[in-house]
């Protein structure tokens, strides 16, 4: 006996893109912002139909908010109807963003016998149910749980039952905070607990970046990244089972817009105009690694390495590079940000021996205690302003570290400039 299914999660219908104000007036970008999530969702639906799967499991946070707009409701309803019309059973659990209480029964008015089951709405909050493939054969048992409210502080596995029949393929459908602190409000549990239930596959939701803990415990991730932190491909998982064994477990990209961070070492480039060629070579590797439905890449470039033209990496340079990339890629690649993490290429052994102003600046640059002291004094002076910025501790630590690193780099750049000036005078 065989069957197949699609594992989807965290669609977040209604969520806007964030952190992309630079592109606010670009017509192409605006259009894709408005349509990419819907297109990615419908592409996933079409994929399920083409593969003729038996089931689609949606692991929570289908909507971004408990106050769903009509357009988002319509997108979901139409997608679910296409699946049901194709004789595909759908099991959708509710997550912390779209708990059961947020679903309007006047809109999602499925009865208990419908091929579309929203767990907790037209079924019990926890549903244990036998699954039958399109040939009418019993092929699996599904164990699923929905968030009733936006928070679930208790361990969700308190509701699940462990395997008693090893001859049945068991699937767990759960929106949870895996390996989180026990006080997490998002259904905290851990991998060992999941494994102890003996299920053959856990279809998880909540984490937006696709992640594979092992062949049986997987986050599908969101089908479309929404900001620069959600990098890389996003999509769905396609699973095929024969005789209670998984024979296919594939990640299928569905994203229309993709975010990428790319590090480019320009240490061995001697001409600023050659930087463009180096960047284009690296972009080609990333944007052509798989042929998929992606229509736009938003790239954050991190320039690294030692370079003699550190001071020339300015806003004019960045804008020209970004415009050339956009043009040369036929508007498929946009540079969202260029971060200069290069270091001025100077002979530090010579600087160490310098007894003049260059040596003094250099010793300041490499003495992190001095820079840290200046930073700490500045931090104390502006502590109220910093507090109002609502940094998380992790974000603030990253911000502080970046400031300290940039201070060192600017000191080294000044050393380079002074050293060249003194050499010319000699």
pLDDT digits (tens, 9 = 90+) for 358-392: 677 777 766 667 667 777 877 777 677 666 666 67
pLDDT digits (tens, 9 = 90+) for 4-58: 999 999 999 998 887 765 554 577 788 888 899 999 999 999 999 999 999 999 9
Considering the domain architecture, whether residues 357 and 403 belong to the same structural domain is answered as: yes
Q: Give the structural domain span for 299.
A: 257-425
pLDDT digits (tens, 9 = 90+) for 69-100: 899 999 999 999 999 999 999 999 999 999 99
118: closest CA among 64, 167, 74, 58? 58
Considering the domain architecture, whether residues 238 and 329 belong to the same structural domain is answered as: no
Considering the domain architecture, whether residues 330 and 391 belong to the same structural domain is answered as: yes
Considering the domain architecture, whether residues 244 and 264 belong to the same structural domain is answered as: no
Considering the domain architecture, whether residues 224 and 236 belong to the same structural domain is answered as: yes
Q: Which of 228, 253, 278 is the last residue of a domain?
A: 253
Strands (E) in 146-293, as ranges, are: 169-175, 177-178, 188-189, 201-205, 211-214, 217-219, 235-242, 245-253, 257-265
Report the percentage of the chain scoring pLDDT > 90.
51
Considering the domain architecture, whether residues 191 and 296 belong to the same structural domain is answered as: no
Give the domain CATH number at 116.
Answer: 3.60.21.10
Q: Determine the pLDDT at residue 81.
A: 96
pLDDT digits (tens, 9 = 90+) for 283-321: 988 888 766 788 999 999 999 888 878 778 888 999 899
Considering the domain architecture, whether residues 269 and 240 belong to the same structural domain is answered as: no
Considering the domain architecture, whether residues 179 and 243 belong to the same structural domain is answered as: yes
Considering the domain architecture, whether residues 345 and 419 belong to the same structural domain is answered as: yes
Considering the domain architecture, whether residues 229 and 271 belong to the same structural domain is answered as: no
Considering the domain architecture, whether residues 36 and 176 belong to the same structural domain is answered as: yes
CA 361 – CA 14 distance, rounded (Å): 53
309: closest CA among 337, 274, 338? 274
N residues, the chain: 426
CA 323 – CA 335 distance, rounded (Å): 8
CA 343 – CA 298 distance, rounded (Å): 25
Q: Say how many domains are in the chain.
A: 2
pLDDT digits (tens, 9 = 90+) for 319-335: 899 999 988 888 889 88
**Relative orientation angle of helices 393-425 and 368-381, to the nearest 10 degrees:** 130
Considering the domain architecture, whether residues 241 and 263 belong to the same structural domain is answered as: no
Using the predicted structure, report yes or no on whether residue 343 has a pLDDT greater than 70: yes
């Amino acid at each position: 006996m065989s069957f197949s299914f699609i594992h989807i999660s965290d669609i977040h219908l209604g969520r806007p893109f964030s952190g992309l104000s630079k592109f606010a007036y670009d017509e192409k970008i605006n259009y894709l912002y408005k349509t990419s999530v819907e297109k990615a969702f419908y592409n996933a639906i079409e994929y399920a139909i083409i593969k003729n799967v038996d089931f689609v499991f949606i692991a929570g946070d289908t909507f971004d908010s408990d106050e769903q707009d009509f357009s988002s409701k319509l997108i979901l309803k139409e997608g679910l109807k296409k699946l049901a019309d194709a004789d595909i059973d759908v099991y959708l659990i509710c997550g912390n963003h779209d708990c059961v209480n947020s679903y309007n029964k006047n809109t999602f008015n499925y009865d208990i016998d419908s091929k579309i089951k929203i767990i907790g709405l037209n079924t019990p909050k926890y549903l244990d149910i036998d699954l039958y493939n399109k040939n009418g054969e019993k092929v699996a048992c599904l164990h699923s749980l929905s968030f009733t409210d936006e928070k679930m502080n208790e361990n969700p596995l308190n509701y699940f039952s462990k395997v008693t029949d090893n001859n049945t393929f068991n699937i767990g459908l759960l929106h949870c905070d895996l390996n989180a602190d026990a006080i997490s409000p998002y259904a905290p549990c851990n991998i060992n607990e999941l494994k102890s239930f003996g299920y053959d596959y856990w279809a998880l939701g909540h984490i937006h970046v696709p992640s594979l803990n092992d062949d049986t415990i997987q986050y599908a991730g969101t089908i479309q990244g929404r900001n620069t932190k959600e990098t890389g491909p996003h999509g769905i998982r396609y699973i095929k089972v024969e005789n209670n064994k998984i024979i296919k477990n594939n990640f299928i990209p569905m994203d229309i817009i993709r975010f990428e961070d790319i590090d480019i070492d320009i240490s061995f480039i001697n001409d600023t105009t050659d930087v463009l060629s180096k960047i284009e070579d690296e972009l080609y590797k990333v944007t052509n690694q798989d042929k998929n439905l992606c229509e736009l890449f938003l790239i954050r470039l991190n320039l690294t390495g030692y370079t003699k033209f550190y001071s020339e990496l300015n806003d004019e340079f960045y804008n020209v590079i970004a415009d050339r990339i956009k043009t040369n890629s036929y508007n498929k690649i946009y540079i969202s940000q260029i971060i200069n993490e290069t270091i001025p290429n100077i002979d530090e052994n010579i600087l160490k021996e310098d007894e003049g102003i260059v040596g003094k600046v250099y010793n300041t640059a490499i003495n992190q205690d001095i820079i840290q002291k200046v930073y700490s004094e500045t931090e104390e002076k502006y502590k109220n302003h910093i507090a109002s910025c609502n940094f998380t501790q992790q974000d603030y630590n990253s911000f502080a570290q970046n400031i300290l690193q940039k201070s060192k780099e600017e000191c080294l750049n000044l050393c380079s400039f002074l050293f060249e000036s003194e050499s010319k005078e000699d």
